[in-house]
Amino acid sequence: MVDGYSAGNLLAPEFGRRGMKSLHVQSTPTVWPILLPSFHAEDFHAQFIFDGDFEKLVNELSRFSLACVLPGTETGVELADRLSEHFKLPTNGTRLSSARRNKYEMVEAVRASGLQAAKQFCSSDIGELIKWFDNSGLKKVVVKPLNSAGTDKVAVCTNGTEIGNAAREIIGHTNMLGLLNEKVLLQEFLDGTEFFLNTVSRDGQHHFTDIWRYKKRSINGHDCVYDCNELLPDEGEPSKTLREYVLGVLDALDVRNGPAHTEAILTPAGPVLVELGARLDGLSVPSVNQAAIGFGPLDLTVDAYIDEAAFAKKSSQPFPLLKNALTVYLTSYQEGTVEAIPGEEILRSLPSFFQMRLRAKTGSPIKLTTNYFTAPGFFTLVHEDKKVILQDYERIRRLEREGKIFSIA
């Protein structure tokens, strides 16, 4: 496991339940602090730190009988590709490793395959960025880092001044994955509804485990802040159209083995890629998938690597939708210190409440919610009746606006 952070911390325990021991490789000498709280060292048999000496790392790992190598989160994708290819294990290979991480290269690879792709431009020069926009004929663009995550520093801009301001917030700053932003990506703003589709692949055979419709909003002076995700059925529209497009994206980016999290916008002209992560969905909650579908990307990922029969059985037909589900991102309209969380009991008493992850704790600092990383928590609503879920959602949003979820000093 390379960088077993975020949802990647679920993988080692799942392999352990199947009788496998996991090794952890840290892809850099130091770990960006925002990732560390999700790391569980006790889940790993041994740990190694990659200091840039690939031969040394290979020699250390060669002492073990390896079944597979996979990334836990975005920062581990390229090293996991390199190691899996070296050891001749199931791999996505290194030919398009960079394109699976660099958002500009990613879109260009998809365009080169003949699929519809957004207009885009990348540069470290703010003047060049503004000039491209002025000559592009576009009325609106999305400005973002090349290789971050979670809508970090993503802004929607309509003129050169806004682009310049957004670019200055990116260039020269360290992003949420601990990487220095050297360039800025401008992409055509795509009118339509955004979705994400989770898949697991084995030797080029792709299976969809869940499909969700995104809803984002503008709050606290920031665009593209996550609001909620709604689980959709695998069959019918818009899932059928999205599936066909994403299958092409997976092939265009050489995703042949393991999990992938693909975001796309369904425009009037058809689906267009936002980005792909060749790893587990960062918001994976296995119990939600189990309740609403019967299985999910976590257990199917392990199947793909060590249980071919189980993978074949689960991937032989579209996933069933047993219940409706909605994942909601909590919002803070203030910043300071959390004195109490009176809304926690209210949340847990909702008719459709299923599970919750709170980042904000009593006594801890809390920030204005401006992106995925500053959401003070998440909760999932699961119920047979979609109306019950929507009523519960509206109640929580109302309480947030009234300041009744978090008591903040």
Strand runs (DSSP E) across 203-322, as ranges? Answer: 205-219, 222-232, 258-267, 270-277
Structure tokens at 148: 């971050």
User: What CATH number corresponds to the domain at position 265?
Assistant: 3.30.470.20
Q: Which helix (H) or strand (E) holds 94?
A: none
Sign of CA dihedral 208, 210, 216, 222: negative
Q: Of 149, 171, 188, which residue sits at a domain end? A: 188
349 and 405: one domain?
Answer: yes
User: What CATH number corresponds to the domain at position 374?
Assistant: 3.90.1170.30
Residue 106 belongs to some domain of the structure: no
Structure tokens at 305: 């690597």
pLDDT value for 180: 82
292 and 360: one domain?
Answer: no
150 and 208: one domain?
Answer: no
Q: Report which of 287, 400, 296, 288 is spatially closest to residue 344, judged by C-alpha positions.
A: 400
Q: Of 128, 158, 188, which residue sits at a domain end? A: 188
Q: What is the mean pLDDT of each run of 10 residues along the chain (409 residues)?
A: 96 97 96 88 98 98 98 96 98 98 95 97 95 95 80 85 93 78 91 96 97 90 86 95 98 98 96 96 91 95 96 92 96 94 95 95 93 90 97 96 93
pLDDT value for 270: 97
pLDDT value for 176: 66
Q: Of 162, 188, 214, which residue sits at a domain end? A: 188
311 and 328: one domain?
Answer: no
pLDDT value for 402: 93
User: What CATH number corresponds to the domain at position 125?
Assistant: 3.30.1490.20
Q: Which helix (H) or strand (E) holds 408?
A: strand 407-408
pLDDT value for 150: 60
20 SS3 class: coil
Q: How far apart are CA 118 and CA 149, in angstroms?
A: 18
262 and 281: one domain?
Answer: yes
Residue 173 belongs to some domain of the structure: yes
Residue length of the chain? 409
pLDDT value for 371: 82
Task: Give the CA radius of gyration of the chain.
Answer: 21
Cis omega before residue 238 (within 30°)? yes
> Are the C-beta atoms of residues 81 and 257 closer than 8 Å to each other?
no
286 and 371: one domain?
Answer: no
Residue 239 belongs to some domain of the structure: yes
Structure tokens at 339: 């004195």
| Side-chain-side CA neighbours of residue 294 (13 Å) | 10
pLDDT value for 58: 98
> Are the C-beta atoms of residues 194 and 265 closer than 8 Å to each other?
yes
Structure tokens at 119: 């207009």
Contacts of 159 (CB under 8 A, 6+ apart): none
Q: Which domain holds residue 57?
A: 6-94
Domains held by the chain: number? 4
Angle at 86 between CA 75 and CA 31, to 5 degrees: 20
Backbone angles phi, psi at 245, to 5 degrees: -65, -45
Residue 274 belongs to some domain of the structure: yes
Output the pTM of the full model. Answer: 0.89
Residue 311 belongs to some domain of the structure: yes
pLDDT value for 182: 85
Residue 124 belongs to some domain of the structure: yes
